[in-house]
Each structure stands twice: as structure tokens, then as C-alpha cells.
Structure 1
């Protein structure tokens, strides 16, 4: 009874040890098998900074261009026939305006019998005269003087250019003077100024100027006095040459 009791107590641990060994071997085998067949994980590296990212040439953004450096693809139509100014200028034979609308002759005249800048013949209400002893249209210095009629009862181009409210031209209106040689001098209206005949200083440069900045001066008569039948003032329309 003693031996069988001992055999029974010692046999229980032996069987547990065997079972433990078998289980351990199985676990080791399973772990080894999992290590062999498990999927490989991707390696993790540093995230590239934006400056290290390469952009394919096709995806490279185009360079930005400031508006001032973008060349104009279309020229303004109203300046298409304007020629640059120079030292000589040219003899005019026609002139055009859009406001008021005019496409008229220009006569080359000097001084009249009284020693004044000559006006066109009285029966030509829309013709202009160019004072041919002063600067030429298209020249780069001095005032180009042109005279246009105003009629006391209306009907001349001068009556369309001015009224009691002031000039009917607005700043920026274009005046084109053309020569027989095909050249065109373009001027943009700036302002109108009234001078009274009895206050006019013949030594001033308000109308006659040979050496100052280039300017077109169109002259009309105004303020007709029916008692004396004299025009008491002159309206000077100043226009600057278009810079090309």
C-alpha cells in the first residue's frame, strides 16, 4: 500500500511534465512557423521636406509675369496712324476731329494785311489755316497755331467747338493733322483758355512760341460785340502731342 501510494504520487508529475514539454514544443514550432510566413512590414523613414520633393517638368508652374511687363498684343486703333514727332514736322493739308466731328482742309497762310495771323477766307466756315511762320505740326518744340472761324450767327466750326458753357471738347479728345507726304501728327486736347484782345500781351507765349514744349493751339474768335462788330476775345484750344 505504501509503494502504490508512492507510485501514484510520483506518476502524476511525470505525466504533467511530459504534457508541458509537448505543449512547449508545439508553441515553439508555431512561433517559428509564424516568423517564417508573416508578411514583411514596410520600413518607415523620415518624411521628405517640401524642398526635397522633385516636381516633374510637365508639372512645374509657369513663372509669374507682372502686368507691366506683359507686352500689349493689340494697339489702340485710334493711334494706329499716328507718327512720332521730330525736329522738322511737316506742312499740313487736312485735319480731323471726333468731337465735334470734322474732316477739313488746312490752308498754309502767313500774316494778313493788318499784320495778324491770317484766318481762312470768310466763306470757308470749317477750313483751318495754319500759321506757316511758326512751328510745323509734328515738330518737337513750340506751338503749332491753327485758326478756325466762328460766325456771329452760328454755322462755323468754331461755333461747334465752344459755347457759353465752355469748350465742347473734353480732355483726351483726339485731333489728327495730316500732311501731303502721308504723315499724321496726333494731339490730345488738354484745355481751353480765353484771352481778351485788349489784354493780350504780344510778348507773351500764350499763343506764339517757337522754343517751348510742343503744343497745338487752335484759335477761334469769341464774344462778338454787335455795336462795334468786333470779336472781343479769343479762345485757345491747347492739345498735347501723343507720345508714341
Structure 2
């Protein structure tokens, strides 16, 4: 996601784990507001060199999210709170550190710095990955130099795995059950972010149509549910 406006970064993790105590975030973003934030604050600008003018891959219609709910008794036992440390998606060669992103003074969601192409952000206003509820990880699709961490997110298939290494050294393993792109003027916030009663994950970047004037006009959203803990 590159942006015409700078984003303020918060809490980028170092390469090693750090011992710390952290309270669960108490301020939760209203999902209706969150949807609008992700559709505007994470709009990306392609670099204009011509090298990447074909744009990032977009989800296929066959990748639409399954609507059948998962019963709580069929899901792994939810984990307790622990911040995300790293995200790995083997299918698209993602292996990136995760920084914490939250709300700024005006209530907008921060995003990872656009000048670091291999950095994702965990939104602290939602649950941590592996907890009961829907965790949210965001990242840029490109920046002015070229592809970024989630450039290939739209090419993921159902059944792919997303691994999130947490600060407590446990790895929450999620299985993708849907990949869709939503236009900014018709974003289903409650469907994307709503609590399904089991541990789920959304991985989000920009996508859809692109113009030099306004950037991308939508968001690619990966729907995934917890299937294992290591």
C-alpha cells in the first residue's frame, strides 16, 4: 500500500523477541468506520515506471468465501492475547515482520511505513491472531519502487495456510477459505470484520481498479480460520 500521505508507524518489532507486559487493547474501532479507513488510508499508488503496469493479481470468482459457519466445538481452542510478531504465507513467498498499528488521534487506522516493502501491520483494535474473534493484518500491495509484501495476496487459493508467529512464541496457523475484492463504495464491513465466534484472520491489502488520481478503488480481503497451533 503506498500512499500519497505519510503514515505514522507504531511499535515495529525487532528481529528478536522481547519480554514485556502488555494489556489487551481496550479501544475497539467501530467496524463501519474501520471499513472506510482501510479503503482510504491504505490506497496505494503504483510506481509509474511501466514495469508493473499489469497490476497485482486479483481474486478469482471461485475463491469467494464460503458462507457456512464453523461451530465453536469444531475449531481449535482459542489462544490468549499475544501480539503478532511475524506473518508467513508460503504459497506466495511472504515472510515478513509485523508491527503494531492502531488508531491515530483522529480515529484513523495507521498503516506500516510505505517505504518498507516487506512489513505488515497487526491492527491492535481487534483481537490478536488466535484469540476468539477476528484478527486483522494489513500490508502494502506496492509502493513507488514496485511490489510490496502483499502484492500477490489476490492469487491465494482456498486451502492455503497463513502462519502468524506471536510474541509468546506460539504460531497460529490459519487456513484460507475465501479471497475476495471489494469496492470501496460497497465494502461489507460487518461481514469482513464481524466476530464469527471462533478464531479467524483477515489479511487485507489494496486491489481492484487503479487510477493515478485516486490509487486503487478497493481492497483484497483474505478470509481464514484457525486450524492449528504450534
In structure 2, relative to structure 1, the CA distance for the partners of 1:102 and 1:87 (3 Å cut) is closer
Query: How do 1:136-215 and structure 2 match up within 5 A?
Result: 136-139=128-131, 141-151=132-142, 154-162=146-154, 168-200=155-187, 204-210=189-195, 212-215=197-200
Question: Which 4+ runs in 1 deviate beyond 4 A?
Answer: none
- The CA distance in 2 between the partners of 1:85 and 1:118, in whole Å, is 30
In structure 2, relative to structure 1, the CA distance for the partners of 1:193 and 1:100 (3 Å cut) is same
- The CA distance in 2 between the partners of 1:158 and 1:96, in whole Å, is 11
In structure 2, relative to structure 1, the CA distance for the partners of 1:138 and 1:89 (3 Å cut) is farther
Deviation at 1:125? Answer: 1.5
Higher relative contact order (CA 8 A, sep 6+): 2
Partner of 1:235: 220
Partner of 1:107: 99
Structure (1/2) with the larger helix percentage: 1
Deviations 1:41-96 (A, max 9, x none): xxxxxxxxxxxxxxxxxxxxxxxxxxxxxxxxxxxxxxxxxxx5425232111111
Aligned CA RMSD, in angstroms, stands at 2.2
C-alpha contact (below 8 Å) 2:129/2:199 kept by paired residues:
no
C-alpha contact (below 8 Å) 2:101/2:123 kept by paired residues:
yes
Number of residue equivalences: 153
Q: TM-score normalized by structure 2?
A: 0.59
C-alpha contact (below 8 Å) 1:85/1:185 kept by paired residues:
no
Q: Which runs of 5+ in 2 are unaligned?
A: 1-75
Q: Secondary structure at the match of 1:206?
A: helix
C-alpha contact (below 8 Å) 2:182/2:208 kept by paired residues:
no
Partner of 1:88: 80
Alignment partner of 1:221 out of 206, 209, 213 = 206
Q: Which runs of 5+ in 1 are unaligned?
A: 1-83, 163-167
In structure 2, relative to structure 1, the CA distance for the partners of 1:113 and 1:219 (3 Å cut) is farther
In structure 2, relative to structure 1, the CA distance for the partners of 1:124 and 1:100 (3 Å cut) is same
Residue 98 (1) aligns with residue 90 (2) = yes
Deviations 1:3-41 (A, max 9, x none): xxxxxxxxxxxxxxxxxxxxxxxxxxxxxxxxxxxxxxx
The structure with the larger Rg is 1
